[in-house]
């Protein structure tokens, strides 16, 4: 499979989605689809696979040969976009396609993943650079401003930056982009679907609209004062009385398995401390006196990853 150099071939922008660049080339040259840019194309849908489009573009020197971050957990079927970026820049950005990308930090608005007119989702293959298949302009989508925690979570995802002050993550966390995306995904999914988290990772994140509550929960946990307490309170409320607050402990266990890095120690410690004090209060309500040290010992044992054998 080979990319044929078309008559009009501007360089790709450094942050441009590889498939979006193929789309742009096809539109500029008035080709019916990006498939026309290829010799020996095996399947049209394979073009949307980031690894493949990155590989063919890297091999084509005339394309500007920009280094490309492979979007982690990328959505390769539907477009998610910032209407103001589309209006200003006229190309699709790679960063939009991560499952946990939800905001444009340049314009401080929520990303959109439905047509502003027909409200259908936007398949990458049948959506033009600036228009839905129904003819509506993507740039005409209503703009919704994000709150500060959501903006900070998006900056954490995009660049790894953590603001000075109240975040429960240290600024020098050293997390790779894949780990940052996985953390946000875990936090988003955990509150409502703790049992599904492992196998059904991005169940609710496929559309910004329906996932908004989860994304806000995760953003507040990470970047709002007292955000962790709010999260843990909601989590402990979800559990049935006989298990009291065991979801809090399961949450720390999950963190221990997926995020053993020392930068998560504060988060885990605060969560365990929350559980210990909540449990102590619950015991007192039932006329039992429990020892704080014993509760700590129990909690720490519960969150140790055990070999399933």
Binding residues among 262-291 for Zn ion as defined by CB under 5 A: none
Helix ranges (H only) for 4-49 are 18-28
Lay out the site mask for Zn ion across 155-194 (x = CB under 5 A, - = otherwise).
----------------------------------------
173 versus 206: smaller Cβ distance to Zn ion = 206
Give me the least distance between CB of 116 and Zn ion, in Å please. 7
Q: Which two tokens stand for residue 177?
A: 């982009």
**In the window 99-128, what residues touch Zn ion (CB under 5 A)?**
104, 106-107, 115, 117-118
Reference 17, options 88, 89, 109; nearest CA is 89
Residue with smaller CB distance to Zn ion, 115 or 175: 115
Name which of 96 and 275 has its Cβ closer to Zn ion. 96
Q: Which two tokens stand for residue 133?
A: 């298949």
User: Is 59 among the residues that bind Zn ion (CB under 5 A)?
Assistant: no
Please tell me the count of residues contacting Zn ion according to CB under 5 A: 12
Nearer to Zn ion, 88 or 291 (CB): 88
Cβ closer to Zn ion: 51 or 134? Answer: 134
Backbone angles phi, psi at 181, to 5 degrees: -65, -40
Give the Cβ contact number of residue 28 at 10 Å: 14
Number of C-alpha atoms within 13 angstroms, CB side, residue 301?
6
Kindly report each contact of residues 196-205 with a partner whose C-beta sits within 8 Å and lies 24 or more positions away, as own/partner: 197/254, 201/73, 202/73, 202/99, 205/99, 205/100
**In the beta sheet, which residues pair with residue 38?**
3
Considering only the stretches 52-60, 74-82, 148-156, 197-205, report the one whose residues sit in contact with Zn ion under the rule CB under 5 A. 74-82
Query: CB 143 → Zn ion: shortest distance, Å?
Result: 9
Q: How far apart are CA 77 and CA 124, in angstroms?
A: 6
Q: How far is the CB of 123 from Zn ion (least distance, A)?
A: 11
**Cβ–Cβ under 8 Å, residues 248 and 256:** no
Residue with smaller CB distance to Zn ion, 85 or 247: 85
- Look up residue 274 and give its two tokens: 């929350």
Can residue 85 be called a binding residue for Zn ion (CB under 5 A)? yes
Three-state DSSP class for residue 18: helix
Identify residues 198-257 at the interface with Zn ion (CB under 5 A): none
The angle at the Cα of 257, spanning 254 to 262, to the nearest 5 degrees, equals: 105
Residue 136 touching Zn ion (CB under 5 A): yes
Q: Which is nearer to Zn ion, 137 or 203 (CB)?
A: 137
- Would you tell me which residues interact with Zn ion (CB under 5 A)? 82, 84-85, 104, 106-107, 115, 117-118, 132, 134, 136
């Amino acid at each position: 499979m080979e990319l044929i150099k078309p008559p009009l071939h501007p360089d790709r922008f450094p942050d441009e989605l590889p498939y979006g660049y193929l789309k742009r080339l096809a539109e500029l040259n008035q080709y019916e689809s990006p498939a026309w840019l290829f010799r020996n194309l095996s399947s049209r849908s394979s073009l949307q696979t980031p690894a493949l489009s990155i590989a063919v573009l890297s091999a084509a020197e005339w394309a500007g040969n920009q280094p490309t971050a492979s979007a982690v957990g990328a959505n390769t079927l539907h477009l998610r976009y910032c209407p103001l970026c589309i209006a200003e820049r006229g190309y699709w950005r790679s960063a939009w396609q991560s499952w946990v990308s939800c905001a444009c930090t340049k314009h401080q608005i929520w990303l959109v993943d439905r047509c502003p007119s027909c409200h259908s989702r936007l398949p990458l293959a049948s959506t033009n650079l600036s228009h839905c298949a129904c003819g509506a302009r993507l740039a005409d989508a209503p703009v919704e401003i994000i709150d500060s925690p959501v903006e900070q979570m998006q900056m954490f995802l995009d660049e790894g930056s953590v603001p000075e002050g109240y975040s429960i993550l240290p600024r020098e966390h050293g997390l790779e982009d894949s780990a940052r995306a996985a953390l946000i995904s875990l936090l988003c999914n955990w509150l409502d679907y703790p049992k599904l988290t492992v196998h059904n990772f991005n169940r609710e994140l496929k559309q910004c609209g329906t996932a908004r509550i989860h994304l806000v929960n995760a953003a507040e946990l990470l970047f709002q004062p007292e955000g962790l307490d709010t999260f843990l309170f909601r989590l402990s409320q979800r559990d049935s009385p006989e298990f009291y607050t065991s979801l809090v402990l399961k949450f720390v266990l999950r963190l221990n398995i997926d995020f053993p890095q020392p930068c998560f120690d504060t988060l885990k410690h605060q969560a365990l401390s929350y559980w210990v004090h909540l449990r102590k209060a619950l015991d007192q309500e039932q006329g039992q006196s429990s020892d704080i040290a014993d509760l700590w010992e129990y909690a720490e044992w519960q969150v140790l990853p055990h070999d399933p054998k």
